[in-house]
Amino acid sequence: MSKKPVVIELDASEPVPTPAEAPVVVTEVHAPALEHGLRFAAARRGFGIGRLFWSAVFGLITFMIGVFVWDFAAEMLARNIWLGRGALGLLGLVTVALLVMAARELATLSRLKRIDGLRGDAEAVLRDGDMAKAKVFQGRLAGLYRGRADLRWALAEVEARQNDVFDASAVLQLNETQIMRALDEQAQRCIENAARQVATATALVPLALADVVVALTANLRMIRQIAQIYGGRSGTFGAWRLTKAVAAHLVATGAVAIGDDLIGSVAGGGVLSKISRRFGEGVINGALTARVGVAAMEVCRPMPFVSEDKPRVTGIIKRSLTGLFGKS
């Protein structure tokens, strides 16, 4: 038995609502919870018992070395005045050298902290859209690169066009297009060279663990070079801090990046490994080196990617390995 359609008669005196009058549904877009959770976990730092232990060990060793050197100098003075004077002179030279090295390391850490502050300011400008903050960021960025001959034209171009920009995001785009683009190209060439070196060593060096040593050395050197390109100084503690920051960034973004374009490079290495196992491993190790390089760019860059596209591992591998294992 079929039912007849129900007809609802509307009152002609009441206005009929239109789709344009429907209320707007506001939805908030959140970043993936996994990425934020990993970033938070990687950024957490606390003064735990482990750090207290190693600080105490370092202080004890330093104290023991100081007492030993002082006793040695005093013994030389007691044995012979000239031997004692020579020992004191060498001790003075070592002390001065240590003070200079410490000053350089402090300057390195201060410079890296300055770059971190600039990146935080740029993220605040993107979040708040404050024009005053954008101008302050532009001045601080120009101060960071003032004196570099390779960026003199870019800084002059930004200064000449800054009065024509009236939007906070546009200020960031202007600085990124004029200043960051040239530095990004240098960093990408550095990553390509490191990926090519690691891939070649993996494919051609038959010695066990040789590719591991080459990959570790190339990655550490690449991180330091990228930091220098973006304005960071090189130093022992600065390099260690950069390496930790890049590792933390890889932990925070690896779950997202592995599903992006790195898996394409790994798949390409798997296909190539059917022809030659060493060549396939070379492509995979080169892709992993490129991934570390991209993470180093994001850590060392004084501002996030706004209008410029972040380099992709697949593109870097294609450029760095073209002609090495055949055409890609």
Give 145-180 pLDDT, tens digit per residue: 888 888 889 888 888 888 888 888 888 888 888 888
Q: Which residue has the tokens 């600085």?
A: 175
Q: Which of 225, 217, 190, 189 is nearest to 201 (CA)?
A: 217
Q: Which of 84-93, 129-138, 242-251 has the weakest average pLDDT?
A: 242-251
| Phi and psi at residue 47, to the nearest 5° | -90, 85
Q: In which band, very low, low, confident or very high, does the pLDDT at 320 lie, cut at 50, 70 and 90?
A: confident
Q: How confident is the model at residue 189 (pLDDT cuts 50, 70, 90)?
A: very high
Q: What is the pTM of this model?
A: 0.66
What is the rounded average pLDDT of the residues 221-225? Answer: 88
The pLDDT score that the predictor gives to residue 30 is 38
Give me the pLDDT at residue 254, please: 55
DSSP 309: P
Surface-to-core class of residue 277, CB atoms within 10 Å of its CB (0-12 exposed, 13-18 middle, 19+ buried): exposed
Question: Rounded to whole angstroms, what are the CA distances from 70 to 42, 76, 101?
Answer: 43, 10, 21
Of 275 and 232, the structure prediction assigns the larger pLDDT to 232
Beta carbons within 8 Å of 7's beta carbon, 6+ residues apart: none
Cβ-based burial of 105 (10 A; exposed 0-12, middle 13-18, buried ≥19): middle
Q: Which pLDDT score is estimated for 2?
A: 52
pLDDT digits (tens, 9 = 90+) for 245-295: 777 766 665 544 444 454 444 444 444 444 456 677 777 888 888 888 888
Mean pLDDT of 109-120: 84
